[in-house]
Copies of this chain bind each other. A is one copy, B any other.
Amino acid sequence: MSKVEAVQNPPRGELLRIVDSALSSEAILTIFARCRVHYDGRAKSELGSGDRVIIIKPDGAFLIHQSRKREPVNWQPPGSFVTVEERDGVIILRSVRRKPKEILEVELEEVYLVSLFKAEDYEELALTGSEAEMAEMIFRNPELIEPGFKPLFREKQIGHGIVDILGRDRDGNLVVLELKRRKADLHAVSQLKRYVEALEKEHENIRGILVAPSLTSGAKKLLEKEGLEFRRVQPPKREKLGKSRQKTLF
């Protein structure tokens, strides 16, 4: 069997054959169709008739894309189970997720293209510039925070949450760091404040420092009101990513 099969305006039998073949062979199924979509689960939705791109992956992920936006208009996450039915002469793709219980149904009104793709892919994304890499950088180079700072714990569970980095300053005071790889907002300040207050039950002179490339105006205001601190730090980008080697794009 070849890596790709594709049929335009497939007759019903051909459509069912390719759909069944894809669902039973670890292939990605892609359908261009006019369809209606019904979803019921964590929320509930209806989508009237229109042309969409439907993708069903071998892990159960189910995507319905309109011609705009990055996000699918309807979907089902991996682990969902797909079946094909025929009701009143209309072919229906039905995807069921067990927990939480969610059902997605697609009425295929007209299929313009059905295709199957046995994708072979052994590569994983190598990404740099994450918050985890900021933390590594600070552990290797604690003076990025301030002279004498000593990081002690990473991802430390405390009373009400998990602190990014817990350490001590040159005077021995406990210091909580909350890292953000992008501009920090009110939410980030609330998070930091929650950690500081949880630790204040058992320690004195806790300092809380928000570590990020920048701050929103509201975050700055709240941070100052709460007596918390800010250190400007950019998330680092590694020179080499994974096994590949690549010049910068710009």
Interface residues of A (CB under 8 A from B): 3-4, 6, 8, 26, 28, 30, 32, 38-40, 42-53, 55, 57-59, 61, 63, 65-70, 72-78, 101, 103, 105, 112-113, 115, 117-130, 160-161, 181-182, 186-187, 190-191, 193-194, 218, 221-222, 225, 235, 237-238, 241-244, 246, 248-250
Q: How far is the CA of A151 from the CA of B79 in the complex (A)?
A: 41
A47 near B160: Cβ-Cβ < 8 Å: no
A130 near B43: Cβ-Cβ < 8 Å: yes
A105-B249 in contact given A61-B70, A115-B6, A161-B186 (Cβ < 8 Å):
yes
Question: Taking the nearest CB of chain B, how far is it from the CB of A248, in angstroms?
Answer: 6
A241 near B160: Cβ-Cβ < 8 Å: no
Q: How far is the CA of A65 from the CA of B54 in the complex (A)?
A: 13
Q: List 23 A-B contacts (CB under 8 A).
A: A3-B51, A4-B32, A6-B6, A30-B32, A39-B249, A42-B129, A43-B128, A45-B128, A46-B244, A50-B119, A51-B121, A52-B119, A55-B65, A63-B70, A66-B119, A67-B119, A70-B75, A70-B77, A101-B250, A112-B117, A160-B222, A161-B218, A190-B190
Specify which chain B residues have a CB less than 8 angstroms from the CB of A52 in the assembled complex. Answer: 119, 121
Q: How far is the CA of A187 from the CA of B178 in the complex (A)?
A: 14
Question: Taking the nearest CB of chain B, how far is it from the CB of A100, in angstroms?
Answer: 9
Q: How far is the CA of A214 from the CA of B67 in the complex (A)?
A: 36
- A123 (CB) vs chain B CBs: closest residue: B48
Question: Taking the nearest CB of chain B, how far is it from the CB of A165, in angstroms?
Answer: 18
Specify which chain B residues have a CB less than 8 angstroms from the CB of A40 in the assembled complex. Answer: 248-250
Question: Taking the nearest CB of chain B, how far is it from the CB of A209, in angstroms?
Answer: 18
Ordered nearest first, which 5 A-B pairs have the shortest CB separation?
A50-B121, A43-B129, A51-B119, A48-B123, A45-B127
- A192 (CB) vs chain B CBs: closest residue: B190
Q: How far is the CA of A65 from the CA of B63 in the complex (A)?
A: 11
Specify which chain B residues have a CB less than 8 angstroms from the CB of A74 in the assembled complex. Answer: 125
Specify which chain B residues have a CB less than 8 angstroms from the CB of A191 in the assembled complex. Answer: 187, 190
A123 near B47: Cβ-Cβ < 8 Å: yes
